[in-house]
Amino acid sequence: RMKDALAARSEDDLRSPICCILGHVDVGKTLLLDKIRQTNVQAGEAGGITQQIGATYFPAEAIVKKTASLSDKGKMNIKVPGLLIIDTPGHESFTNLRSRGSSLCDIAILVVDIMHGLEPQTLESLRLLRDRKASFIVALNKVDRMYGWLPRPNGPFRASLKVQPQATQDEFAMRVARTITEFAEQGLNAELYYNNKKDVRKVVSLVPVSAVTGEGIPDLLGLLVGLTQKHMTNSLMYLSELACTVLEVKAIEGLGMTIDVVLSNGVLHEGDRIVLCGLDGAIVTTVRALLTPQPMRELRIKSAYVHHKSIKAAMGIKICAPDLEKAIAGSRLLVVGPDDDEESLMEEVMSDIATLHKMVKKS
């Protein structure tokens, strides 16, 4: 079946890239996510939080809008359906969660505080990204903290830099040079993304941003989409073979116990028979509802979830089903097909249990 699925792939049918955020504590990961989503999780006020499901989906239209200011040559040509960003910074999604042996995420944003440069946890993240041979870009955050910075909210970075006083521009150049040296000390070439004309997969792109003013966010989104759709089409070709991972197990008022999953390939349907890891052995149950949050701009409104008959990858989904009380975060989720033997799927899913236990202990 896997062979058929592979043969059916096409560059005209790409799935959304999945992205996660890493970095040292206090570099601004949470605020950056908030700014990208236009929510306010860091201040703890958004009504939208209650319906967060571990991953935010940006449809292509939203990305076109958010990157429109980057170029006067017209809209960005977007070939992927959208972008799925894992909401929890430093989530296990990159480190331990794997779907089909590879990382759940396709690309990472490593956030670095421009005022501090590379910090201990940044180095740890770098090691991890290298071990995984993962693609990543660097968000050089807090540019607004440089002396004399004149903010131009939500605009592209280079337009902001141009209007800064000379001393601020000099400080920026000095801090970037220092960061590039620090990357070199780690054996990595890095360049400001707009100067990165070499092989972008070998030279790390630095994207200056501010999570407070929103400057550089268009650049960040544009680069994420541009890089993934240009260089990762092979791994982004939609695959009908299911790949799905449980991010969180959560009780929700009115819904009971639910699981939030990332569907990285394939389709899920209401009524699907699913198999996942449980504390007392494999859980086999039936999908009662497939839910997603309200579309982007309505995240602030505390309203019901959107129900779906079926959902195609990639997407973050809340699943309602009976018997989820003992579900384990990090588990793979399998669907019982017409020719499948339920028992062997139960064995297959539980074969990951040793790794999952390690994760549970750690956290």
Here the tokens at position 285 are: 């149950």
Q: What is the pattern of x (binds ligand GDP, CB under 6 A) and - over residues 320-359? A: ----------------------------------------
Nearer to ligand GDP, 46 or 314 (CB): 46
Q: CB under 8 Å to 6, separation ≥6 — which residues?
A: 239, 241
Nearer to ligand GDP, 205 or 210 (CB): 210
Residue from the set 75, 127, 130, 145 that interacts with ligand GDP by CB under 6 A: 145
Binding of ligand GDP at residue 39 (CB under 6 A)? Answer: no
Radius of gyration of the chain (CA): 21
Q: How far is the CB of 79 from ligand GDP (least distance, A)?
A: 30
Angle separating helix axes 217-231 and 60-67, nearest 10 degrees: 130
Total binding residues toward ligand GDP, as defined by CB under 6 A: 17
Which one of 29-37, 92-100, 125-133, 328-336 is the stretch in contact with ligand GDP (CB under 6 A)?
29-37
The backbone torsions φ and ψ at residue 13, rounded to the nearest 5 degrees and listed phi first, read -130, 75
Nearer to ligand GDP, 22 or 315 (CB): 22
Residue from the set 38, 40, 42, 186 that interacts with ligand GDP by CB under 6 A: 42
Angle separating helix axes 29-37 and 217-231, nearest 10 degrees: 90
Nearer to ligand GDP, 30 or 285 (CB): 30
Nearer to ligand GDP, 25 or 301 (CB): 25
Binding of ligand GDP at residue 124 (CB under 6 A)? Answer: no
Peptide bond into 314 cis (omega under 30): yes
The CB-nearest residue to ligand GDP is 28
Binding of ligand GDP at residue 25 (CB under 6 A)? Answer: yes
Nearer to ligand GDP, 30 or 229 (CB): 30
Three-class DSSP category at 361: helix
Which one of 1-9, 26-34, 304-312, 344-352 is the stretch in contact with ligand GDP (CB under 6 A)?
26-34
Residue from the set 19, 31, 112, 161 that interacts with ligand GDP by CB under 6 A: 31
Looking at residues 190 to 249 of the shown chain, list those that interact with ligand GDP (rule: CB under 6 A): 210-212
Cα separations (Å) of 133 from 102, 130, 250, 308, 338?
10, 5, 32, 35, 36
Residue from the set 15, 19, 28, 228 that interacts with ligand GDP by CB under 6 A: 28
* CB contact burial 175-203 (16+ within 10 A = b; e otherwise): bbeebbebbeeeebebbbbeebeeebeeb
Residues 295 and 249: their CA atoms lie apart, in Å, by 22
Cα separations (Å) of 194 from 159, 162, 191, 241, 363?
13, 14, 8, 37, 38
Nearer to ligand GDP, 87 or 272 (CB): 87
Q: How far is the CB of 52 from ligand GDP (least distance, A)?
A: 15
Here the tokens at position 359 are: 């994760």
Q: CB under 8 Å to 115, separation ≥6 — which residues?
A: 142, 145, 146, 175
Q: How far is the CB of 164 from ligand GDP (least distance, A)?
A: 15
Q: How far is the CB of 4 from ligand GDP (least distance, A)?
A: 43
Identity at 263, one-letter amino acid code: L
Looking at residues 83 to 112 of the shown chain, list those that interact with ligand GDP (rule: CB under 6 A): 89
Residues 241 and 118: their CA atoms lie apart, in Å, by 39
Nearer to ligand GDP, 122 or 258 (CB): 122
Give the residues lining the site for ligand GDP (CB under 6 A).
23, 25-31, 42, 89, 141-142, 144-145, 210-212
